[in-house]
Amino acid sequence: MSASTKIRVAVNGYGVIGKRVADAIARQEDMTLVGVADIGIDWRPRVATRKRFRLFGAASEDADAMRRADMQVAGTLEDLLGESDVVVDCTPKRVAAKNVETYRRFGRKFIVQGGEKHEVTGHSFVAEASYEGAIGRDSTRVVSCNTTSIVRTLEALKRAGLLRRARGTLLRRATDPWESHQGGIMNTLVPEESIPSHQGPDAQTVDPDLDVITMAVKVPQTLAHLHYWSVQMTRHAEKEEVLDAFRTSSRIALVRMDQGLSALNVIKELMADLGRPHDDLYEVALWADMLQVKGDELFYAYMVDNQAIVIPETIDAIRALTGRETDASVSMKRTNAALGIGDLRV
């Protein structure tokens, strides 16, 4: 692929993640969104057409149903793959496994989401930790929102030589806002049945050296996840040294309680005020003034916008797979600039 042509990208599945990935691709100078594939005929895929994205039916039956419902359809997923260099799979868990066979049959590079197992692609992706390993591969897996946040933060501590082991409690929102009329929990807390929860081992698919154990619980809100960490450091470090370690990541945003950014809803409101699409918080928002060091122990908490945090990673993964950019930091800078990342502080 010549450096002057744009990477042609397909998005399969136009749901909560797919629509954000499509928007993000459309904002990259070195990429073209060829189109999006989906199955429904309700309001959601119709929005794709409103945004002038080409819409494809996942199968020919889907395309036919869309046409019968007066929707503009450009063809099927197979047609879409025919015009694309890479496909980002944003379909639900069960469906993705079958899609992978199709992508392989068409010889297309592909990216799956964190809901799939590591083995599906043999590579798990977080830009700051495993970009290099993805260069030129046929496929990779962008890990889940929770795991992405864990890897971003713990790798920052590791780069500073501070990380010995990390123990986390993860408060998981119960459902996405757009589905909160169909499911969710009400006025209760629902602990995950087993300890440890799966996020620790999942982080180790990106970096096997991480000593991390997590416990998880579902909480009755729709905005974002919230992680609390108790970290054993290799030695005592001053608070400012720890904050500097986190500052080495362009995708960790230090926020402050004493500026009024004191709860999940307030930080989401700031995102809306900044004009971010869907009020998306792509960064891990970590409270700088709340963070505390006690001897060689470190305590902190951060917010994870589970719909948004994997979007920049997905964009970087596209560049890595195609080999168009072999320097992770260059790719991340381009992605950050296109999405407004780094611009959070007020």
Part of the chain binding a copy of itself (CB under 8 A), chosen from 74-82, 121-129, 154-162, 294-302: 294-302
Q: Which of 22, 19, 58 is nearest to 38 (CA)?
A: 58
Residue type, 99: N
CA distance 132 to 128: 9
Question: Can you tell me which of 18, 38, 287, 312 binds a copy of itself, judged by CB under 8 A?
Answer: 287
Q: Kindly tell me which of 133 and 184 has the beta carbon lying closer to a copy of itself.
A: 184
190 binds a copy of itself (CB under 8 A): yes
- The nearest distance, CB 250 to a copy of itself, in angstroms, is 19
Binder to a copy of itself among 26, 160, 274, 337 (CB under 8 A)? 274
Residue 279 interacting with a copy of itself (CB under 8 A) = yes
Q: Is 161 exposed, middle or buried (0-12, 13-18, 19+ CB in 10 A)?
A: exposed
The one among 75, 115, 277, 342 contacting a copy of itself by CB under 8 A:
277
Identity of the residue, 1 or 190, whose beta carbon is nearer to a copy of itself in the bound complex: 190
Minimal distance, residue 323 CB to a copy of itself, in Å? 33
The answer to whether residues 145 and 194 touch, using CB atoms and an 8 Å cutoff, is: no
> What is the spatial distance between Cα 337 and Cα 339, in angstroms, rounded to a whole number?
6
DSSP codes, 27-69 = T-TTEEEEEEEE---SHHHHHHHHTT--EEESSHHHHHHHHHT
Interface with a copy of itself, residue 326, by CB under 8 A: no
Q: Which residues of 238-257 are buried (b: 16+ CB within 10 A; e: fewer)?
A: eeeebbebbeebbbbbbbee
What's the closest the beta carbon of residue 138 comes to a copy of itself, in angstroms? Answer: 32
Among positions 207-266, residues that touch a copy of itself (CB under 8 A) are 213, 215, 217, 219-223, 226, 228, 230, 257-266
Task: Map the footprint of a copy of itself across residues 37-66, applying CB under 8 A.
Answer: 40, 42-44, 46-47, 50-51
The least CB distance from residue 118 to a copy of itself, in Å, is: 22
Nearer to a copy of itself, 33 or 134 (CB): 33
Min dist. Cβ of residue 72 to a copy of itself (A): 12
Active-site residue flag, 145: yes
Size of the site for a copy of itself (CB under 8 A): 75
Which residues are registered as beta bridge partners of 233?
163
Please provide the distance, in angstroms rounded to a whole number, between the alpha carbons at the two ends of the chain. 40
By CB under 8 A, tell whether 342 contacts a copy of itself: no
- Residues paired with residue 294 on neighbouring β-strands, in sequence order: 297
- Which residues on neighbouring strands pair with residue 139, listed in sequence order? 110
Of the two residues 97 and 185, which places its CB atom closer to a copy of itself in the complex?
185
Binders of a copy of itself among residues 3 to 42 (CB under 8 A) are: 19, 40, 42
Pick between residue 6 and residue 256 the one whose CB is nearest to a copy of itself.
Answer: 256
Pairing of strands 109-112, 139-142: parallel
Alpha-carbon gap, residue 92 to 216, rounded angstroms: 22
Catalytic residue selected from 145, 170, 212, 286 = 145
User: Following DSSP, what letter does each residue of 103-125 receive, concatenated?
Assistant: HHHTT-EEEE-TTS-GGGTS-EE
Q: Is 201 in the site for a copy of itself (CB under 8 A)?
A: no
Assess 281 for contact with a copy of itself (CB under 8 A).
no
Nearest approach, Cβ of 10 to a copy of itself (angstroms)? 20
In the complex, minimum distance from the CB of residue 128 to a copy of itself, in angstroms, rounded to a whole number? 25
What are the beta bridge partners of residue 304?
Answer: 225
User: Is residue 72 a contact residue for a copy of itself (CB under 8 A)?
Assistant: no
Considering only CA atoms, which of 103, 88, 80, 91 is closest in space to residue 34? 80
Of 289, 333, 337, 342, the one binding a copy of itself by CB under 8 A = 289
Residue 75 host element (H or E): strand 75-76
195 binds a copy of itself (CB under 8 A): yes
Catalytic residues: 145
